[in-house]
Amino acid sequence: MWINYARTFIYNHSVLHVLLLVLLHTALVGGGKPGRQQFEEISAEHPIHLVIPLPEDDSFSFGKNPFYFSSHKVKPLADLALERVYNESILPNNSINLIYRDSKLSDAIGPNVAVEQLLLKEIDCIIGYAYGYALAPVARMSPYWKNGIPIITPIGLTMSLDDKKEYQLMTRINSPYKVVASAVGELFKNYQWKRHIFMFHHAKSPSVAVGECFLLMASLQHPLRKIIEMQHNFFTFNEESSANLTRAERHQQFVQYLQASSYMANVNHPRECTYEAMLRWLTRLSCILLHLLILRQPANVQTDFVEDVGAVNQPHIPPPPPPFPFNVIVILPKKESIYDNFGMTLQKAMPVIDIAVQDVVERQKYLPPGWINLTYWDSKLYEDILLAERHATVGVIQAYCEHRLDAILGFADNYGLATVTKVTAGLNGGIPILTTSGMPSLLNSKKEYPFLTRMQGSYRLLADSMYQLIAYHDDDAISQNNSSLNYLNLIFFYHDKRRAVNRVITQDESQETGATSSHCYFSLYAIKRYFTEKSKTFKREWALNTPQFPFDEDLVIERETFKQWLREISMQSNGCSRHSSRARPHVPS
């Protein structure tokens, strides 16, 4: 029965998509604004190009394809939709060109297929994507392609994609998770629930993207924080680890999960919490989720799927040496801002680059005059840190479409750097990127970022120094040369607007704070990751969560408040790792 419902649902929406395009065509031709390019008359000679980027395989792929979409499932439904459109004379025959592209469930290849279609001038609308991390960068860039390329997708339900300012032309045909968050928030208010814990499946692997369970819980977290502020209130488990267990063993394992999570949720108010009571609560929550048409993941998850690493596994054809001039784009903000931790701007970089180019030609005589063509692009980081990634990516794609992209210099923000590095790894055999930023350990993977060179290294070097200086070393790692302080109980006390306990909560429950993770967070994340890699003890102690206390140093903090924070963290630890972007927090006298 559910197959028929899904078939009818997708079929009806496919027809609706075509009708929307016809209405858009009529609006632009009949009342298009002067100066804007209008659509040609829709016909077999001037068809509508619908790009459908989906994987050819419907494997779960470690959570990258949570709803099991694939091109072979969509093709028959799309054919039925086209047949109806042509039979009802909505559009002339052969006036719609369906272009299926294999996204390979890759956040590098997925955006690249859209860029390639843009370069071929065969893209009017995008329908699809199965992997959220491939969808997001395309949705940010599509308003700037041609007159704007609409995107219609069944995924991307997380709250982080709700901002219409950032994702202007994206339409999600399924209900986003903010609807669930609103319903759960009302449930908490109605029953006057206060203490809670997020219990969900999470693989916790740096090589595997976070799954839909994590994204759903992240969307629920924001409205519930308005009811009560709780720290360390999440319990994660890997459901794939119980695939080979018997039913009785899985039952016992889940009982242990419930007992551990119940203790965490009620640590300040101990009370009896039986398995039956927790099961009733989970049953109520499940009914709400089913009522809101939230799809669950099937139990028979394929765990033997080998990840397709995209461009790495494709036949590699080395590109020919680029003819002079060598085209280089420099991406930096025009002026400094609070978002730029290193003060890198175009005005500062331009004279240094000019001197270097002159030195290569005149003094070193390595290359002839005119060997390089420099393009300076403003990332506009000073305007909005959330939109800087979009501005940077648009500049790179524009340079690529105009055949003037051989290398990239710059970047002052990590988010724009990460997106551009992934996308450009599949263009022209790979575009090298040199930067003074990008120190978070998440950018260490040479498989994901093969052409990235970070001239200042990474936070992993800092993590190694901290481990040698303060960390507790396992017995088998202790030697006579060990000079560590051997601290075991640590808590990370750091500045981060996004997770701060003293952050300002907005009235709009449908939006997140809007802040991005700080450099303090990235540096401490690298320390945490390094500690758990090197020490079995830290891996065990921090298996559920890492003790942390984030705060916003840019807000006024009363002296008594700061003292209270110190008392709280001293109760949790006999060691404290403190990070902020200034020497001390802002404490009024």
Q: What residues pair up with 198 in beta bridges, in sequence order? A: 234
| Ramachandran sector of residue 232 (left: φ over 0; alpha: ψ -120 to 50; beta: rest) | left
Walk along the chain (589 residues) and give the pLDDT tens digit of each residue: 343 344 334 444 544 454 445 444 434 444 444 444 444 578 888 888 999 999 988 877 777 888 888 888 888 888 888 888 888 888 888 888 999 999 988 888 889 999 999 999 999 999 989 988 889 899 999 999 988 999 999 888 888 888 888 899 999 888 888 888 888 888 888 877 777 777 787 776 666 677 788 888 888 877 777 777 666 567 777 777 766 778 888 788 778 777 776 666 654 443 334 444 444 434 444 443 333 333 333 444 343 434 444 444 555 566 555 467 888 999 999 988 888 777 888 888 888 888 888 877 777 677 788 888 899 999 998 888 878 888 898 999 999 999 889 899 888 888 889 889 988 888 888 899 988 888 887 788 888 889 998 888 788 888 888 888 888 887 655 554 556 788 888 888 888 888 888 887 665 544 455 677 888 888 888 888 889 888 888 888 887 778 888 998 888 888 888 888 888 888 776 544 555 554 333 333 3
- pTM for the whole structure: 0.58
Q: What residues pair up with 101 in beta bridges, in sequence order? A: 53
pLDDT in tens, 317-344: 665 554 678 889 999 999 888 887 778 8
Whole-number Å distance between alpha carbons of 122 and 111: 15
Are 69 and 131 in contact, with CB atoms under 8 Å apart? no
Looking at residue 125, its pLDDT comes to 92
Domains present along the chain, CATH in parentheses: 2-172 (3.40.50.2300), 177-291 (no CATH), 322-457 (3.40.50.2300), 461-579 (no CATH)
Looking at residue 27, its pLDDT comes to 41
Whole-number Å distance between alpha carbons of 359 and 364: 6
Looking at residue 102, its pLDDT comes to 92
Looking at residue 566, its pLDDT comes to 87
Whole-number Å distance between alpha carbons of 550 and 546: 12
Looking at residue 586, its pLDDT comes to 38
Burial tier of 358 (Cβ tally within 10 Å: 0-12, 13-18, 19+):
exposed
Whole-number Å distance between alpha carbons of 582 and 495: 9
* Strand ranges for 76-231 from DSSP E: 96-102, 125-127, 151-153, 170-172, 198-201
Q: How many CB atoms lie within 10 A of CB 557?
A: 17
Are 477 and 532 in contact, with CB atoms under 8 Å apart? no
Looking at residue 54, its pLDDT comes to 92
What is the 8-class DSSP label of residue 470? H
Per-residue tokens: 270: 């101990």
Are 422 and 452 in contact, with CB atoms under 8 Å apart? no
Q: How many CB atoms lie within 10 A of CB 161?
A: 23
Q: Which residues contact 25 (CB under 8 A, 6 or more apart)?
A: 39, 42, 48
Per-residue tokens: 398: 């524009």
pLDDT in tens, 512-569: 556 778 888 888 888 888 898 888 888 888 877 788 889 988 888 888 888 888 888 8
Looking at residue 5, its pLDDT comes to 43
Q: If you average pLDDT over every residue of the chain, what do you get?
A: 76
Looking at residue 51, its pLDDT comes to 94
Per-residue tokens: 17: 């998509």
Looking at residue 482, its pLDDT comes to 59
Looking at residue 513, its pLDDT comes to 53
